[in-house]
Amino acid sequence: MTAAGRIGVVGLGYVGLPLAVAFAEAGAEVVGHDVAETVLTALRDGRSHVEDVTDEALAAVADRVTYTADAGALRRCDAVLICVPTPLTVNREPDLGPLRAAVGSVAASLRPGQLVVLESTTYPGTTREVVWGALARPGMVAGRDFHVAYSPERVDPGSGPRDPSVPKLVGGVTPACGERAVRLYERICERVVPVSSSDAAELAKLLENVFRAVNIALVNELAMLADRMGIDVWEVVDAAATKPFGFMRFDPGPGMGGHCLPVDPFYLSWRARQFDFPMEFVELAGKLNQAMPYYCLSRIERRLNDAGLPVRGSRILLVGMSYKGGVGDLRESPALKILRLLLERGAQVRYHDPHVPEVGEPPLRAERDLAAAAAACDLAVIVTAHPDVDHAAVASAAPAVLDLRNATPAGDWPAVERL
């Protein structure tokens, strides 16, 4: 690799685009590849579609980044980073279609000396079996003639620009592959943590997210029990969090969203079954988190019933539609499921979200005046707590509030009921 180097990034989403900018800021020439022409057109015009990458950041590196749909341009790169989605099928099994397509494009332009790194979250063995398997050529040996590694993304959407202080895990399919990848990421990361193999790095990434998913499932189940026992679960969590050791705080909520937490447990459990090892604990946590919107629906029904109202015909305002506060990402958002369940039961549903202008087809558009929308509803349900939303205004204006996020400020709010 030359002093500056040429880096290819396949997939210019919330993982790939920040990486492309980071390497360009480090002085590399970057080839950004994507199959979505709308994305490429916007980026060429200097408009970012990723909330954590500003238009100003794109402008600062515009002379060092090329955006293209031509996979052949990757042949000129010293390293190619694959950052494509790894979703689930309708049967909650890994869908590697986007990854296989991306790897096929990289394989068609592979040249001796290149490093190929997979960044997408996936099950252990994917880099070896899918990526390395597709790149293998007669007479070309991995670790000598080309290199293959896995380095999982650790992006925190909504937290701002990519943080170089977050340690980067790297595992190669051979030791030489791992060493090559470590040298690459040392250019943009303050600390690179090598592990023995790509399989170990893949499992470490799944552990990070499954750990969160399991603990969220635990506190969600506790919230349901506390409700039945007439105990304030938020008081319980606050009290337990005062312990300075042996406890890590997790908060209950309407379910999990985003790409990672709702997906990764199923990647791990699917792979484990291939080794005749059912991960019942992980699967149970996934099922419980998937069921939380239905529990929240029962709480909505009960709240309306207390006011003598049926779901059908009631005016319900959902506050927050994205999966996480501060972002507009709708992937796997529990608010979408709650919205669908309410519409199926005949409710008149509106929503407010400053980050999501419209949802659904035909589109349902966001209410701009939060206070007016809250005053006009029968029940306001706080599903996602955006930091730039005045939840006190909701508590003051709405005749009844169901707060699923403990977002309303402390104090005497007779209309507010919490999860």
* pLDDT 10s digits, 300-336: 999 999 999 999 999 999 999 999 999 999 999 999 9
Are 116 and 102 within 8 A, CB to CB? no
Instruction: Find out whether the peptide bond into 362 is cis, omega within 30 degrees of 0.
Output: yes
Which sign does the torsion angle of CA 143, 146, 147, 148 carry?
A: negative
Query: What proportions of the chain, in percent to the nearest 5, are helix, strand and coil?
Result: 40, 15, 45
Angstrom distance (rounded) from CA 79 to CA 102:
14
- Which pLDDT does position 1 carry in this prediction? 38
Are 338 and 402 within 8 A, CB to CB? no
Domain architecture of the chain: domains with CATH: 6-196 (3.40.50.720), 211-418 (3.40.50.720)
Pairing type for strands 65-68 and 79-82 reads unpaired
Cβ-based neighbours of 208, under 8 Å, separated by 6 or more: 154
- 77 catalytic? Reply is no
- Which pLDDT does position 2 carry in this prediction? 39
Q: Which residues of the chain have pLDDT under 50?
A: 1-3
- Which pLDDT does position 44 carry in this prediction? 96
Which strands, in side-by-side order, build the sheet including 401-403? 348-352, 315-319, 379-382, 401-403, 416-418
Nearest CA to 49 out of 58, 59, 39 is that of 39
- Which pLDDT does position 4 carry in this prediction? 53
Single out the catalytic residue among 77, 83, 189, 260. 260
Cβ-based neighbours of 50, under 8 Å, separated by 6 or more: 13, 14, 17, 18
What stretches of 186-243 show up as alpha helix (H) in DSSP? 198-229, 233-240
* pLDDT 10s digits, 9-52: 999 999 999 999 999 999 999 999 999 999 999 999 999 999 88
- Which pLDDT does position 60 carry in this prediction? 97
